[in-house]
Structure 1
């Protein structure tokens, strides 16, 4: 194959994308920068684009430029189908890089004009350097220009973003429809949930709203596209808690809002959400659409005082360690509920109504992909007026019997106006084999590395939990 020439000599006609022309499949992304204000394209997120362009070709070999592609598309994965009678002899993606809009049009024919409209140079754009241009004329001479007013592209669209340059061999002249497929970064989506606790009553109820936040930092606008959102975390070979994303100004007339909720279906090991109708995604914007209708569901509140973590030593730890002091444990406020639908990963804002009727924030948390019917547990923050004191009350080692006895007293305190049931979570950490031999109340939950009690604490009061553990091991365990 002959080298792909840089000169571009064929006329290109670009259709404005419509719902029938462009389909974009956007994968879930959780990079905060993608959803934060900014105008520069970002190499984060992942999307697959299927779009069509109308091209006019003459018979024979041609060099063609297709502009207006995303700034950060994957140049090794661009596919193009021009139908029968057209062969692609070679292709090249020119990205704008640091040179901005003009950088993606290197190799195209340009007219460079001065302040008075006079023609300063005509030829092929070969370099973009800061505020200067390099233009090669028909005789092969290169001129460098800095003081110019306007650059015209007589043979192409000069759209912002990347440019696909093609060498073609067409068996017939006339219009051709080009089908383009390519992956790009700069597009991503994630779920945004609002859980508003219901007023009054002793039971926990909340209203759950689910939106899809769709970020576009790809370096181009997407107008009236058909949209699919994919939930899950597939691997990508390439690369690719902040304040809530700020909705940015729309740059063009918006496409009609979706009339129906997304159609959900399986996509291999993932979930797909097809957005109804067509949607505009202006560059440097975050667009939101509903995922589900809002609904009221049951929930549970939990206040958690936790000590230690899930860890076990290689051999039994019978050393005292001087653990006779008192530790003060914060109590974390948590909210749980059963997923009413398949919930894609995202951020949940939990609100409650204040006495003035306004919704106020109780906390924010991230949640992973959660199948319908599974539990969602959100950590909202440290509760005011709740704490627990922890002190060791007993410790002894019997090396002959290969046992350790260790006791603790947990004193939850509640300075709030309502009674609380505080979950005390402990992690027995001296050895993996243990049992509760004494306790002031039965455990609510036990696993090999976790012990939980639920302690009722009155308003403006405290309660006491005492328990004693016994660890045991064999002679072989001592050798590790």
Structure 2
């Protein structure tokens, strides 16, 4: 697209809005490393005040982020004052990035000694120099020391060069919308366990918003989208600590939640500032006290089921010794995916970190469980005590002994989870502790282990199969 003679620079108007999609990209939330990140996804809608000239002419909109999907950018004039004939994205990258946004504006170019080299409209800034159109013609300047702008403003990031056909001259409102990357959000939860025998926790819900787009966003109206829309173009902006900014909204004002297609949206109650190179946090829900469940889990094997009976005596002989501590609770409302940090008070009443886990998108009323870590004072030992196969009778018997030890000063209840998966048809023939839960591929036993002591669980299962399922010799 050739540049026409009449060119004007569009300025930024107040009141932009952003729809921001969730991203777990580590590059967005990293506390070290500079520069912007090509991850995350947001759709921006902002009003620009542009100066039109009657007829066909060019104008430039600057102050755009560094990562844009050029095919999805759109500029409209609600009042019908002009229409867009063509557009070109000028990327804010490379050594001339700071000058790219000045394309179409009036500048003064100075030499090493401050002498004026040219004054006029900047047509292009490239590696071969500046192309400036003045009253005496067009000049290519290869060596210069400084550039001054007529308005004293240097746009940052990328710019959009447009050819428009206007019906009149003067100011007009234009609405620009575009997707960008380098910015994303995810939920951040903190649970502080409360003292007492029953599991209770103080639960805080926030949204962490990471901005590495190359642009500051000020007083922007923000809507957060929870869920996972599909993005077809691999080259488009993708959804996947620097200073933390306080939420400007009042403490009692919470985001308004609603459904958007198959997803959930959270519209913030007041505009927020999102400086480039920052992680801002805003509340999702008011803090609340919730019931929870602490579990010490000793698990062997998995839920995989073989295509035929497994009669090999080496199968299913796992002997894990670690007992895993977990925390579970029921979602009080729709909880977007994010990370939950869990704290508990030490003997001096100081909150201490005891584990962190990821929560997936969890609908209201659903269960959420995270792994806190390995219990220090608890251990398990698993030994097989019986194994017999009767091929002619198409049966198989297997038994295990599980020994649990507790080196702590208080009694614990350990959930033992076993997976009888030699074959899909099986029955529990005996157990020293009645199972708390039984499914097609899982046995759960809750075993009480005394302080500074141990407990033993014995159980046996019986497998059967038909002639059609007979395993190979």
Q: Kindly state the Cα deviation for residue 344 of structure 1 after the two structures are TM-superposed.
A: 1.1
Write out per-residue CA displacement over residues 388-446 of structure 1, whole angstroms, 9 at most, x where no aligned residue: 00011011110001111111101111111111110111122322221111211221122
Partner of 2:57: 62
Partner of 1:269: 262
Partner of 1:474: 466
Write out per-residue CA displacement over residues 90-138 of structure 1, whole angstroms, 9 at most, x where no aligned residue: 0111112344633744854654323332234567564544xxx522355
Partner of 1:236: 231
Q: 1:7 to 1:283 in 2, by over 3 A?
A: farther
SS state of the match for residue 378, structure 1? strand
How does 1:374-453 map onto structure 2 within 5 Å? 374-453=366-445
Partner of 1:74: 69
Match of 1:343 among 332, 335, 346: 335
SS state of the match for residue 76, structure 1? helix
Quote the Cα distance in structure 1 between the aligned partners of 2:345 and 2:378.
21
SS state of the match for residue 464, structure 1? strand
TM-score (norm 2): 0.91
Partner of 2:85: 89
Q: 1:152 to 1:311 in 2, by over 3 A?
A: same
Q: 438-447 vs 357-366, which deviates more? A: 438-447
TM-score (norm 1): 0.89
**Is 2:403–2:457's contact at 8 Å kept on the other side of the alignment?**
yes
SS state of the match for residue 470, structure 2? helix
Quote the Cα distance in structure 2 between the aligned partners of 1:7 and 1:134.
20
The answer to whether residue 109 in structure 2 is matched with residue 117 in structure 1 is: no
SS state of the match for residue 70, structure 2? coil
Unaligned segments of structure 2, at least 5 residues: none
**Is 1:94–1:106's contact at 8 Å kept on the other side of the alignment?**
no
Q: 1:323 to 1:194 in 2, by over 3 A?
A: closer
Match of 2:97 among 88, 101, 126: 101
**Is 1:7–1:124's contact at 8 Å kept on the other side of the alignment?**
no
Q: 1:136 to 1:107 in 2, by over 3 A?
A: same
Q: Kindly state the Cα deviation for residue 258 of structure 1 after the two structures are TM-superposed.
A: 4.2
**Is 1:97–1:103's contact at 8 Å kept on the other side of the alignment?**
no
Partner of 1:173: 169
Q: 1:112 to 1:432 in 2, by over 3 A?
A: farther
Q: Kindly state the Cα deviation for residue 33 of structure 1 after the two structures are TM-superposed.
A: 1.6
Root-mean-square deviation over aligned CA pairs: 2.4
Q: 1:258 to 1:12 in 2, by over 3 A?
A: farther
Q: 86-95 vs 446-455, which deviates more? A: 446-455
Match of 1:24 among 18, 27, 30: 18
**Is 1:13–1:156's contact at 8 Å kept on the other side of the alignment?**
no
Q: Kindly state the Cα deviation for residue 292 of structure 1 after the two structures are TM-superposed.
A: 1.1
Write out per-residue CA displacement over residues 156-178 of structure 1, whole angstroms, 9 at most, x where no aligned residue: 95311110100011110111101
Write out per-residue CA displacement over residues 457-477 of structure 1, whole angstroms, 9 at most, x where no aligned residue: 011111001111112111211
Partner of 1:212: 207
Count of aligned residue pairs for this structure pair: 459
Q: 1:7 to 1:216 in 2, by over 3 A?
A: farther
Q: Kindly state the Cα deviation for residue 9 of structure 1 after the two structures are TM-superposed.
A: 3.9
Q: Kindly state the Cα deviation for residue 322 of structure 1 after the two structures are TM-superposed.
A: 8.0
**Is 1:5–1:63's contact at 8 Å kept on the other side of the alignment?**
no
**Is 2:218–2:273's contact at 8 Å kept on the other side of the alignment?**
yes
Partner of 2:290: 297
Q: 1:479 to 1:316 in 2, by over 3 A?
A: closer
SS state of the match for residue 166, structure 1? strand
Q: Kindly state the Cα deviation for residue 192 of structure 1 after the two structures are TM-superposed.
A: 0.8
Partner of 1:369: 361
Q: 1:288 to 1:470 in 2, by over 3 A?
A: same
SS state of the match for residue 459, structure 1? coil
SS state of the match for residue 413, structure 1? strand
**Is 2:87–2:163's contact at 8 Å kept on the other side of the alignment?**
yes
**Is 2:91–2:97's contact at 8 Å kept on the other side of the alignment?**
no
Quote the Cα distance in structure 2 between the aligned partners of 1:318 and 1:412.
28
Partner of 2:36: 41
Match of 1:281 among 270, 274, 285: 274
Quote the Cα distance in structure 2 between the aligned partners of 1:358 and 1:47.
39
SS state of the match for residue 97, structure 1? coil
Q: 1:98 to 1:470 in 2, by over 3 A?
A: farther
Write out per-residue CA displacement over residues 280-302 of structure 1, whole angstroms, 9 at most, x where no aligned residue: 11111111111111111111110
**Is 1:55–1:178's contact at 8 Å kept on the other side of the alignment?**
yes
Partner of 1:183: 179
**Is 1:10–1:155's contact at 8 Å kept on the other side of the alignment?**
no
Quote the Cα distance in structure 1 between the aligned partners of 2:316 and 2:308.
19
Q: 1:314 to 1:126 in 2, by over 3 A?
A: same
